[in-house]
Amino acid sequence: MGACRPRPYPRLVHVPRPSPAQYRVITLVVVVAVSVIVVTGAAVRLTDSGLGCPDWPKCTQYHFVARASFHPQVEQLNRDFTGLVSVGVAVAVLGSLALLPRRRDLIWWSLGLVGGLVAEIVLGGIVVLSHLWPPFVAAHFLLGMALVWNAVVLHDRAGHPDTPPALTVDRRVRRLGLAVVALAGVVFLTGTIVTGSGPHGGDQHVKRLPFLVEDVARIHSLTAWAFLTLTVATLVVLHRTGPTRSAQRRALELSLAIVAQGAIGYTQYFLGVPPALVLLHVAGAVLVWIVALRFYLGLFAHAETMQVAGVTSGGP
């Protein structure tokens, strides 16, 4: 009798492996999802539902989910949507692990989404337990925008092979691009100060920041004008240094997005900050942020898309 060979165990679980194109669609869904969660968080505040669920992670001390009344339901829906975003992030992580060939950069950026979302959930709980203290509310929004940044970079990288990108524009434009993104962050920061000083705190009894809304709104407006001025200056430098069409188009898109966002901001201010316009302004901020990030990422190209001669190496 011959030696008995062990039978191979049957493959119980088939792990689907997404194609690069399919994984890029997954990352696009994640970009949309994390962008929407920032806006829905603002909707909770603007409907005075921030303390609709006064406990965390349960809605109340005695109920895990909200009972059938408006404010608790709004807060509960926001928490439920965060759960759906968590599923999308998990799919992005599993997809990066299943890709062939496996790419370390996509794995790390997808894990960054996990860390950011966990931090966002925990900070959301702190916001509730602190009774919507404005600095925590501001940090919650800014962390959400950082999560959007992570998702946008992941989506951009998923659309290119794992090769070092090369700068396709003059180095001065790269420096200006970094300044544009940084100044966008300053605009968002000053915007959160206006929000923390204004009437929409998430609950009628929430303590506000000790600033006059007119003063902090003026500072926010000045940073927005500086943001627009720098973007237009970057567009001019691009035109003079022989830009790629893509970089020039994205700079123009960013300029137009800032103008539209500014128009919404001034309109909401002079109309007494109605909640609907404030919500539109928050959505506009997310859109401007995505366009600004796409502009900077578009200053680089990979080997298969490079059509500009004499590009210089260096990653974003």
Decide if pLDDT at 246 tops 70.
yes
Q: Which pLDDT band, with edges at 50, 70 and 90, does 315 fall under? A: very low
- Bridge pairing between strands 300-301 and 166-167: antiparallel
Decide if pLDDT at 245 tops 90.
no
Residue 8's pLDDT is 52
What's the order of all strands across the beta sheet hosting 166-167? 300-301, 166-167, 312-313
Q: Which pLDDT band, with edges at 50, 70 and 90, does 309 fall under? A: very low
Give pLDDT tens digits for 79-110: 888 889 999 999 999 999 999 888 999 999 99
Phi/psi at 213 (5° precision): -60, -40
Q: How far apart, in whole angstroms, are the C-alpha atoms of residue 87 and residue 113?
A: 11
User: Is 102 in a helix, a strand, or coil?
Assistant: coil
Q: How far apart, in whole angstroms, are the C-alpha atoms of residue 262 and residue 294?
A: 20
Q: Could you tell me if 16 and 100 are in contact, meaning their C-beta atoms sit under 8 angstroms apart?
A: no
**Average pLDDT score, the chain:** 88
Residue 242's pLDDT is 75
Q: Could you tell me if 147 and 120 are in contact, meaning their C-beta atoms sit under 8 angstroms apart?
A: yes
Q: Which pLDDT band, with edges at 50, 70 and 90, does 304 fall under? A: low
Q: Which pLDDT band, with edges at 50, 70 and 90, does 311 fall under? A: very low
Nearest CA among 35, 41, 46 for reference residue 78? 41
Give pLDDT tens digits for 104-130: 999 999 999 999 999 999 999 999 999
Provide the residue ranges of all domains of the chain, joining segments of one domain with +. 16-161, 163-316
Report which DSSP code applies to 3: P
The burial of 116, by beta-carbon neighbours within 10 Å (0-12 exposed, 13-18 middle, 19 or more buried), is given as buried
Range of 55-64, 206-215, 276-285 with top mean pLDDT = 276-285
> Average of pLDDT values for 47-74?
77
Q: How far apart, in whole angstroms, are the C-alpha atoms of residue 118 and residue 174?
A: 32
pTM: 0.89
What angle separates helix 20-46 from helix 70-98, to the nearest 10 degrees? 160
Q: Who wins on pLDDT, 161 or 27?
A: 27
Q: How far apart, in whole angstroms, are the C-alpha atoms of residue 212 and residue 199?
A: 11
Report the percent of the chain where pLDDT is more than 90.
64
Residue 15's pLDDT is 63
| Residue 65 CA to its chain's centroid (Å) | 27
Residue 64's pLDDT is 67
Residue 35's pLDDT is 97
Give pLDDT tens digits for 252-270: 999 999 999 999 999 999 9
